[in-house]
Amino acid sequence: MPARRKSSPMSFAVKSVELAFAAPQVVAHRVTRMALAGTQPSERDRREFERMVAEKNDACFESWRAMGVAAFRANQTLATSALASFWSTALSVRPSHSARRLHGVALEVLGEGLAPVHRKSVSNAKRLGRTKLR
């Protein structure tokens, strides 16, 4: 089984910034394309509009699935950690350590949810940046 790559808070921040730049570019391109297409969109425009809807659905479901799996794994890890602290004789778990752990877990779940949306948005920004509107 391949090792899972842990996402760092920095990669989450970087992906968030990249998404903040890519999403408006994609929206601007597609809204302009819709406005130029008018009531009679070309076959190329119709394919792009259908792709737009399908990609949003796919990214949304993939994001929710990834967040659900990450949350399930995080809950297992946190529950195991809590049970281990109850069984240990020396309770060395400090509240600050638990808070850091919860913060890291939350970032991991958010990062898993952001990944599919980020991937689609950045690839669309690159692809649509190379195409002409007409």
Q: What are the pLDDT digits (tens) for 110-130?
A: 999 999 999 999 999 999 988
Residue 95 lies in a domain: yes
Residues 79-107 have pLDDT tens digits of: 887 777 666 655 555 656 667 777 888 88
Q: Is the entire prediction scored with pTM above 0.85?
A: no
Residue 124 lies in a domain: yes
CA 88 to centroid of chain Cα atoms: 37
Which range marks the domain in which residue 105 is found?
41-130
Residue 54 lies in a domain: yes
Residue 52 lies in a domain: yes
pLDDT band for 1, please (50, 70, 90 cuts): very low
